[in-house]
Amino acid sequence: MKRRTWSLQATITLLVCGVVAISLLVTDLLISRTIVASIEKDRGEKATNVARMVAHSQLVTEALGNQEKESAIQEFAEETRRLTNVKFIVVMDMNGIRKSHPDPTKIGKQFVGGDKAISLNGKEHTSISKGTLGLSLRSLTPIFDRTGKQLGVVAVGISLNDVQKAVSQGHKNIYTGTLFGIVAGVLGAVLLSRYVRRILFGLEPSAIAKLFQERDAILQSVREGIIAVDQESRITLVNKAALHLFHKAGLAQEPRGRKLEEYLSNSRMGRILKTGETEQDEEMILNGITLVVNRVPIFLNDKIVGAVSTFRDKTEIQQLAEQLTGVRLYAEALRAQSHEFMNKLHVILGMSHMGYYDQMTNYIRELVNHRNDEMGAISKNIKDPVLAGFLLGKLSYARETGAELHISSERKVPDPLHSYMSHELITILGNLIDNALEAVSSCPRKQIEVHFDYGDDILTIEVKDTGVGIEKEIQNHMFKKGFSTKGENRGVGLFLIRQSLDRLGGEMEISSKPSQGTRFVVYIPYDCKGDTE
């Protein structure tokens, strides 16, 4: 059974309402006790004050014990009761006999309640007792004459119904405040939940959790290192690939929470946070490891709040580029050979249909001899089968474009010690020959010469063409990535040549004059498997 999940708005509303209701109910209980105690104290003080006033009245002290004047006590007590709005004022002598009472028929009788003994002994006190007028809050104060002799007691009572009414009114005010608080809490909860949902793009917590898990899985699965910083340049995110590269570079400490400048002193993320400009395909050396880095600022409401950097070991990228470049050049060579072979087959087929068998035999013999000469010359001098096959493909491609490609070698070029050398040579030769073919494409004389020389562990490759030549100012910029005079999406070939030469530790010389052709000479340190003989 699928577990039911509450929406964010419902959760916040119920939570806020519950907290408000519980808080107000607890407050109600606490305040109610305080109110009851306060009202009882206030009423008790009122009763005590009235009792003291009556007890200190000269009329009462003079009339008490004087039968002729005792009737004045009733009038004075009743008048005071009406003015002070108490329930009763009872004046009694030392025997507990009432001298005043709201009910005149009770005058001359014993005071009822059982709480007079303390006051008859000269002490003032307050109690809740039941008398002839019902349960009441009463204050009893002793009456003394001028000599300090106790003459009697004054009892002032306040009905507990008045106390309960005051308490009820206090409860009513509390309940009104509680209800208002709950309504305000519900309204606030609804507004808060809507605001939270708006800043969370309307997503529920479960959806946010799922997105977080998906984002984390994506970040950890990519092979590129990813590191993010906040606007204070403090590292907030690092994926596994980045940690692997950091550990590989000898940075074993945990980077999260640290300042980027403290962890990666040569990082340029601080510049991105200031300028807001994106940097792509920049190189950064980290403890001997060359990284290819992309840096992008993070904007929120047109304000920079952080930056993200992605990076990868340049060696891995180079290996991938070498594979892609080699495959492309191999494919071009095979396509050219296949196209040339199909053309020759069409010629042979036509001769066969027309019955020119002798001419067909001579044609095939010439093709075979020419092919054997080409293959023999290349395979004799170029021992690397990959490079030799590539050169044969370029011969076919050159003939297809109507150009003459001559390949020669003063000495044998041995098989390279490392396989990556073949890929680098193919990148260098392929781009040089392709550029030469483009250079002679519009010239009446379309001739290209490729010459190899090997000695003292140095391989020299010379590529000459009879093309249009290269102007001096262009030579200064032509190895930059993307620079080209042939239109957009060009300018990669010479850049790849320069990268391959840098990896191999090679050098290049260029000599060119407009309308007189171009000559490239490449010098490459070359480790071979065996001797050159």
pLDDT of residue 369: 53
SS (H, E, C) 88-118: EEEEEECCCEECCCCCHHHCCCECCCCCCHH
Q: How distant, in Å, are the alpha carbons of 34, 35, 114, 154 from that of 29?
A: 9, 10, 33, 36
Closest Cα to residue 411, out of 458, 361, 473? Answer: 458
In this structure, the strands spanning 447-455 and 404-409 are parallel
Q: Are 279 and 297 in contact (CB under 8 A)?
A: no
User: Which of these CATH numbers, 3.90.79.10, 3.30.450.20, 3.30.390.30, 3.30.230.10, describes 224-314?
Assistant: 3.30.450.20
Both tokens assigned to 377: 């010359």
Helices 314-354 and 419-440, packing angle to 10 deg? 60
**Which three-class secondary structure state does DSSP give residue 141?**
strand
For every residue of 332-388, DSSP letters joined together read HHHHHHHHHHHHHHHHHHHHHHHT-HHHHHHHHHHHHHHHHHHHHHHHHHB--HHHH
pTM: 0.39
Q: How distant, in Å, are the alpha carbons of 57, 272, 344 from that of 339?
A: 137, 52, 9
pLDDT of residue 19: 78
Mean pLDDT by 10 residues, the chain (533 residues): 63 75 75 73 83 86 78 85 86 86 85 79 82 76 86 85 70 75 77 76 71 75 82 85 80 80 78 83 78 84 85 68 53 59 69 72 63 60 80 79 84 82 84 86 87 89 88 72 54 76 88 84 84 47
Q: Are 468 and 515 in contact (CB under 8 A)?
A: yes
Q: For Cα atoms 7, 13, 16, give the angle at the middle one, nearest 5 degrees.
A: 135
Kind and range of the H or E run holding 516: none
For residue 190, what is the DSSP state? H
Would you put residue 113 in left (φ > 0), alpha (ψ -120 to 50) or beta?
A: left
CA pair distance 203, 300, nearest whole angstrom: 19
Kind and range of the H or E run holding 313: strand 303-313
Locate all alpha helices (DSSP H) within 236-306, ordered by sequence.
240-248, 260-263, 269-275
Q: Where along the chain do the CATH 3.30.565.10 domains lie?
A: 356-525
Q: Where along the chain do the CATH 3.30.450.20 domains lie?
A: 9-166, 224-314
The single-letter code of the amino acid at 2 is: K
For every residue of 499-511, DSSP letters joined together read HHHHHHT-EEEEE
Architecture of domain 9-166: 2-Layer Sandwich (3.30)
Kindly report the number of other CB atoms within 10 A of residue 191's CB atom. Answer: 11
Decide yes or no: CATH 3.90.45.10 for domain 356-525.
Answer: no
For residue 444, what is the DSSP state? S
Q: Is the dihedral of CA 366, 371, 372, 373 positive or negative?
A: positive
Closest Cα to residue 272, out of 249, 295, 300? Answer: 295
Query: To the nearest 10°, the Cα dihedral for 52, 58, 63, 65?
Result: 70
Kindly report the number of other CB atoms within 10 A of residue 64's CB atom. Answer: 22
**Which three-class secondary structure state does DSSP give residue 290?**
strand
Residue with tokens 């680098």: 424
Kind and range of the H or E run holding 452: strand 447-455
pLDDT of residue 491: 53
Kind and range of the H or E run holding 517: none
Both tokens assigned to 246: 């950091």
Q: For Cα atoms 342, 346, 351, give the angle at the middle one, nearest 5 degrees.
A: 150
**Which three-class secondary structure state does DSSP give residue 304?**
strand
Q: Is the dihedral of CA 214, 216, 222, 226 positive or negative?
A: positive
pLDDT of residue 489: 43
